[in-house]
Amino acid sequence: MSRQGNRAGDPRKVNGELFTLTYGALVAQLIKDYENDEQVNKQLDKMGYNMGVRLIEDFLARANTGKCNDFRETADVIAKVAFKMYLGLTPVVSNWSTAGDEFSLLLESNPLTEFVELPPGHSNLNYSNLLCGALRGALEMVQMDVDVRFVQDILKGDNITEIRLKFIKRLEDAVPVGED
Amino acid sequence: MGTDQNRRRKVGLFPSKAAAQGSGNSIPNKNCCSALSRTKFTSQFSDSTVKMTIYNFYLFDRNGTCLYYVDWNRKKQMTMSKEEEFKLMYGMIFSIKSFVSRLSPTDMKDGFLNYSTSKYKLHFFETPSGLKFIMNTDLSVGSMKDVLHQMFSSIYVEYVVKNPLCSLDQPITSELFKNKLDEFVRALPQFAVKAGT
């Protein structure tokens, strides 16, 4: 633990392998419980969402960044600050749509799938779907409704893992009762 | 009737006595001093007369729910219910925010930070996730932006967000959070209540 003490003296840091194996056990259990890959994807997304909703506060507290001015800035912060902070890697931001409301995060490696090989018959499973949910939950808390999904996955034989984010709409602050 | 009056006089006696003493000690011609020059006076002269104080603290979530309220040196009795006060406070902050941003000649970075009256100063800090931290202090207190940010990052995040038993859209009931927040605020230099007396 001390060997990777780059976050100066945080005793709550856990071993990366333990994390990967825990996640693996979680997905395996879900597959047992639900049998249907689509259902498992949905559950992973839901769990990720609940994590994202809390994770964003921790992120804002630690990163101390202000509000982003546009979606491009958001993309940069996600890739360079958030992924770096929580997964220790920096995905490449690319494949922008012409309208600037959609982009992809390209991951060459994925710590969640370090020891994983998908058995045959699970072609619909998005093993790391928790990440999508976490991104969606976190962005929703900063007033952005975003659609997040896996497009390519190294686990399924693609060359790269690609997560696609599509901006849907801005969510507004609640207006107090009796005001317009 | 008579007893009622008596009681009222007794209640009234305490603060007025204290006020008379206070004016005798510091500024003889208090009545002709404007609020502004009085603040200047206290900040320029002896520290023992400065009474920096934190009065109360509100935490609202993005939906306008008051997640937490606490007061420390708020002596005056409230005439309305807490719920009513929270609603008013949230409504006012909401309006000030939109007013300030609409009136701003350029794009603002920080937006609305604080306002002061002749009696108190209200400090405001909002996270990008829409949590609103509001603190009322006495006039001699400077910027509380960093303090409020610290309350967010080292108390709210640590003891509420990371506590899976605390739901994020309900008023906070965690004792741990209460204690930590109280401890934090009491240790602040701005809290230095009644330093001179």
3-state secondary structure chain A: CHHHCCCCCCCCCCCHHHHHHHHHHHHHHHHHHHCCHHHHHHHHHHHHHHHHHHHHHHHHHHHCCCCCCCHHHHHHHHHHHHHHHHHCCCCEEECCCCCCCEEEEEECCCHHHCCCCCCCCCCCCCCCHHHHHHHHHHHHHCCEEEEEEEEECHHHCCCCEEEEEEEEEECCCCCCCCCC
Contact B127 A60 (CB under 8 A): yes
Mean pLDDT score of chain B:
76
Long-range interactions of A40-46: CB distance < 8 A, separation 24+: A40/A125, A40/A129, A41/A124, A41/A125, A41/A126, A41/A129, A44/A126, A44/A128, A44/A129, A44/A130, A44/A132, A44/A133, A45/A129, A45/A130, A45/A132, A45/A133, A45/A136, A46/A133
Q: Is A38 within 8 Å of chain B by CB? A: no
Which residues make beta-bridge pairs with B104?
A: none
Average pLDDT on B108-129 reads 88
Of A58, A61, A173, the CB nearest to B62: A173
pLDDT at position A10, please? 65
What strand order describes the sheet that includes B66-71? B66-71, B54-60, B132-137, B121-126, B114-116
- Torsional class of A16: left (φ above 0), alpha (ψ -120 to 50), beta (otherwise): alpha
A56 vs B contacts (CB less than 8 Å)? 129
User: A11 — contact with chain B (CB < 8 Å)?
Assistant: no
The CATH class that applies to domain A14-170 reads alpha beta
The residue of A51, A53, A54 whose CB has the most chain B CBs within 10 angstroms, and thus the best one to mutate to test that interface, is: A54
Give the chain A residue nearest B157 (alpha carbons).
Answer: A58
Q: What is the pLDDT of residue B123?
A: 94
Tell me if chain B has a CB within 8 Å of the CB of A172. no
**Inter-chain CB proximity B128 and A67 less than 8 Å:** yes
Across the A:B interface, residue pairs with CB atoms under 8 Å apart total 56
Q: What is the pLDDT along chain A (180 residues), one digit of tens a residue?
A: 444 444 455 666 778 889 899 999 999 999 999 978 999 999 999 999 999 999 999 999 998 787 888 899 999 999 999 999 999 899 999 999 999 999 999 999 898 988 888 888 888 899 999 999 999 999 999 999 999 999 999 988 889 999 999 999 988 876 776 654
Record: contact B91-A178, CB cut-off 8 A: yes
B78-97 pLDDT, tens per residue?
Answer: 788 888 999 999 999 999 98
What is the pLDDT at residue A178?
A: 60
Residue of B nearest to A143 (CA): B129
Backbone φ and ψ of A150, nearest 5°: -80, 135
| Residue A118 touches partner B, C-beta closer than 8 Å | no
Has residue B29 got a pLDDT over 60?
no
Please say if the pLDDT value at position B36 is more than 50.
no
pLDDT confidence of B189, banded at 50, 70, 90? confident
Which helix H or strand E contains B125, and what residues bound it?
strand B121-126
Domain boundaries defined on chain A:
14-170
Supply the pLDDT for residue B152. Answer: 93
Q: Which pLDDT does position A91 carry in this prediction?
A: 94
The two tokens of residue B129 are 């996730």
| Whether B144 contacts B190, CB under 8 Å | yes
Question: Which residue among B130, B149, B152 places its CB closest to the CB of A173?
Answer: B130
- Of the candidate ranges A96-100, B8-12, B55-59, B155-159, the one whose mean pLDDT is the lowest: B8-12
pLDDT value, residue A175: 74
| B153 chain-A contacts, CB cut-off 8 A | 60-62, 64
Q: Which of A57, A62, A176 lies at the smallest CB-CB distance from B90?
A: A176
Q: Residue B41 pLDDT more than 50? A: no
Buried residues in B3-13 as b, exposed as e (16+ CB within 10 A):
eeeeeeeeeee
Q: What is the mean pLDDT of residues B1-30?
A: 41
Query: In this structure, are residues B112 and B92 in contact, taking their beta carbons and an 8 Å threshold?
Result: no
Nearest chain A residue to B161, by CA: A54
Residues of chain A contacting residue B62, judged by C-beta atoms under 8 Å apart:
141, 173-174
Cβ atoms of A167 and A101 within 8 Å: the answer is yes
At residue A5, the pLDDT reads: 43
Cα separation of the two ends of chain A: 53
Q: Do A176 and B128 touch (CB under 8 A)?
A: no
The residue ranking higher by pLDDT, B17 or A73, is A73
Residues of B with a Cβ under 8 Å from any A Cβ are 62-64, 87, 90-91, 94-95, 109, 127-131, 149, 152-154, 156-157, 161-162, 168
pLDDT in tens, B120-154: 999 999 998 989 999 999 998 888 889 999 999 99
A73/B contact by beta carbon, under 8 A: no
pLDDT at B44: 40
B129/A179 CB distance under 8 A = no
Q: Best mutation site among A173, A177, A179, A180 for testing chain B: the one with the most B CBs within 10 Å?
A: A173
Q: How confident is the model at residue B106 (pLDDT cuts 50, 70, 90)?
A: confident
Q: Lowest-pLDDT range, A46-60, B46-60, B105-119, B134-148?
A: B46-60
Distance from CA of A142 to the nearest CA of B (A): 5
What percent of chain B is modeled with pLDDT above 90? 38
